[in-house]
A and B are shown apart, each in its own frame.
Chain A
Amino acid sequence: MLKFHCPHCNEVREEEEFSYAGEAFIARPAAPDACRDDEWGDYLFMRKNSKGWHWEQWLHAAACRKVVAVKRHTFTHEIGGCWTLAEGKRIYLEEQA
């Protein structure tokens, strides 16, 4: 059973309260009308599917209904942290840089 800290409610809650909403921070093509089919297909469907640390979104469905950014290890299920989307994105971008 995963447990997440919801940064909006400021409480640690069990995964059953949340629903998984996929990989986080997928960049939408800047000019959708001008991009090629493979760029658009990549944005829509291709995923990192990392074995290891993974940035993802969880909706706190049974409480505040806000989206939480979570960094989680997909093999050990260790949770590296939970943030609001804005905070999470800042840390994510720092990691990518």
Chain B
Amino acid sequence: MAQKNYSFWSLLQQGFKRQEGWDQAWRSPEPKASYDVIIVGAGGHGLATAYYLAKEHGIKNIAVLEKGYLGGGNTARNTTIVRSNYLWDEAAMLYEHSLKLWEGLSQEINFNVMFSQRGVFNLGHTLQDMRDIERRVNANLLNDIDAQVLTAAEVKERIPMIDASPNARYPIMGASFQPRGGVARHDAVAWGFARAASNLGVDIIEQCEVTGMHIEGGRIRGLETTRGTIRAERVGCVAAGHSSTLAKMAGIRLPLESHPLQAFVSESLKPVLHTVVMSNAVHGYLSQSDKGELVIGAGIDSYLSYAQRGSPHVIEHTAAAIIELFPMFSRVRMNRQWGGIVDVSPDACPIISKTKVKGLYFNCGWGTGGFKATPGSGNVFAHTIARDRPHPLNEAFALDRFHSGHLIDEHGAAGVAH
């Protein structure tokens, strides 16, 4: 049952009909007794995985199970930043693959994800910051990723309201700049992938929590859920903060710790900031949404937690960082705050991997930086599940790197606030 395309004509037609004739964006079917592939977790990554499985690998009988509601987790609990300026080749290639998919995504899934390539600045405040920035920019250029080193004067010229004076407590010495980076509308990414996957026959089943796994002879046979037993020979888990909980059902230990990550948005302002600004040293990042809100984020709370809130002193720290960069925002009122649960791995890189249980795959450990990877993550994970072997781009992100020692230490390398 193909749906009507969103187009200029359909928008115009609906304009005359009070917008009342739209179809439901995705179907809500009852779960079947068995599927070829089940994806656990209907966030951006899970839905993208289902979409690419159906589209590129011709698998028809797919379900996505979600314990809450679609896009109710980290997909809608982040600061929507998209970039690919990572240092190590493995990470840079994975995120760049994703960025390329972002560039055609609205067209491909016929859903406006409001991807806006307004550029991303990573500020440097110390000599060492600037050396790291130069190294990372050069590494990016060698990987054909757009990147520039800017001086403090150039930063000030491009972001006029930033405090670039030498008298600041942490003076800005320069920045790296990725012009193709930017932001996207996070809810739209989940809704768009859900609609596109549903159109290809994927069953999206909300309010369906996985409570157990059926494993026989080292092979996955199906899942126990709050809506009954569902059989499947292949299961992909994409549950972010709850990955360890799922892995435990299969007797697998993961190198993850789940932490709260908070963000907040201000009241709507006139356009004041046309780009994305991140600073590792003062530890904050912000952009302005198309609605005019300042979208502000910082680092994780230090301790393990599954509660989707965080400590107040982390908010204070974040606000201090933003006011350090933009003193003019000190009187801006904040509208709301939220917390997500991020699954942090020891090397700050994701795990996209087969497991010791045949037919059971995990895509987790994205930590604080999963949103930008949504289409790329789904794309390579679909390949891993469909072919039972990793895509060349996620080969290095296997679980066994924590036994072999081949870590991809992006923690310090990405120049991001962790």
Any A CB within 8 A of the CB of B313: yes
Structural contact, A76 and B307, CB atoms closer than 8 A: yes
CB <8 Å contact, B255 and A38? no
Residues of B within 8 A of A75 (CB): 305-307
Chain A nearest CB from B251 CB (Å) reads 12
Contact status of A51 and B306, CB under 8 A, knowing A1-B312, A38-B403, A41-B402:
yes
A46 to B351 Cα, complex, angstroms: 13
**Could you tell me if B255 and A2 are in contact, using CB atoms closer than 8 angstroms?**
no
* Residues of chain B contacted by A76 (CB below 8 angstroms): 307
CB <8 Å contact, B304 and A54: yes
Pair A49/B311 contact, Cβ less than 8 Å: no
Residue contact A56 to B304, C-beta cutoff 8 Å: yes
Query: Is B31 positioned at the interface, with any CB of A under 8 Å from its CB?
Result: no
Known: A51-B245, A74-B306, A77-B307. A45 touches B255 (CB 8 A): yes
The yes or no answer to B242 lying at the interface (CB within 8 A) is yes
CB-CB < 8 A to B312: which residues of A?
1
Task: Flag if B402 contacts A45 (CB, 8 Å).
Answer: yes
Smallest CB separation, A48 vs chain B (Å): 8
Q: Cβ of B255 and Cβ of A20 under 8 Å apart?
A: no
Residues in A whose Cβ lies below 8 Å from that of B245 = 51
Given contacts A74-B304, A74-B306, contact A47 B402 (CB under 8 A): no
* Cβ of B244 under 8 Å from chain A: yes
Given A1-B312, A1-B313, CB of A49 within 8 Å of CB of B257: yes
C-alpha spacing A22/B303, complex, angstroms: 7
Shortest CB–CB separation between residue B418 and chain A, in angstroms? 14
B253 near A51 with CB under 8 A, answer no
**Residues 248-263 of chain B, each 1 if its beta carbon lies under 8 Å from chain A, else 0:** 0000011111100000
CB-CB under 8 A from B304, the residues of chain A are 20, 23, 49-50, 54, 56, 74
Alpha-carbon distance A14/B367, docked complex (angstroms): 26
Scan A24-44; emit 1 where CB is below 8 A from any B CB, else 0. Answer: 000000000000011011101
**Residues 48 to 74 of chain A near chain B (Cβ within 8 Å):** 48-51, 54, 56, 74
Q: Which residues of A contact B303 (CB under 8 A)?
A: 2, 15, 20, 56
Interface size class of B (residues with CB under 8 A): 20 to 34
- A22: B residues at CB distance < 8 A: 257
Contacts of B404 in A (CB 8 A): 37, 41
Check if B302 sits within 8 Å of A74, measured CB to CB.
Answer: no
Partner of A47, one of B257, B306, B405: B257
Q: Are B305 and A47 in contact, with the CB atoms below 8 A?
A: no
Closest to B347 in A: A45
A46 with B253: CB separation less than 8 A: yes
Q: Quick one: CB contact mask for B274-303 with A, threshold 8 Å, 1 for yes?
A: 000000000000000000000000000011
Q: Do A47 and B307 have beta carbons less than 8 Å apart?
A: no
**Residues B311 and A45 in contact, CB atoms below 8 Å apart:** no
What 1/0 flags go to A1-31 for Cβ under 8 Å of B?
1100000000000011001101100000000
Q: What CA separation (Å) do A62 and B313 show in the bound complex?
A: 15
Complexed CA–CA distance, A16 and B314 (Å): 10
- Shortest Cβ distance from B316 into A: residue: A16
Q: How far is the CA of A19 from the CA of B307 in the complex (A)?
A: 19
Q: Please give the distance in Å from A20's CB to the nearest CB on chain B.
A: 4
In the complex, which residues of chain B have a beta carbon less than 8 angstroms from the beta carbon of A49? Answer: 244, 254, 256-258, 304
Residues of B contacting A74 with CB < 8 Å?
258, 304-307
B179 interface hit (Cβ, 8 Å): no
Q: What's the least CB distance linking A73 to chain B, in Å?
A: 9
Residues A46 and B257 in contact, CB atoms below 8 Å apart: no
Chain A contact residues, CB within 8 Å of chain B: 1-2, 15-16, 19-20, 22-23, 37-38, 40-42, 44-51, 54, 56, 74-77
Interface of B toward A, CB cutoff 8 Å: 242, 244-245, 253-258, 302-307, 311-313, 346, 402-405
12 contacts between A and B (CB under 8 A): A1-B312, A23-B257, A41-B405, A47-B254, A47-B255, A49-B244, A49-B256, A49-B304, A51-B306, A56-B303, A74-B304, A74-B307
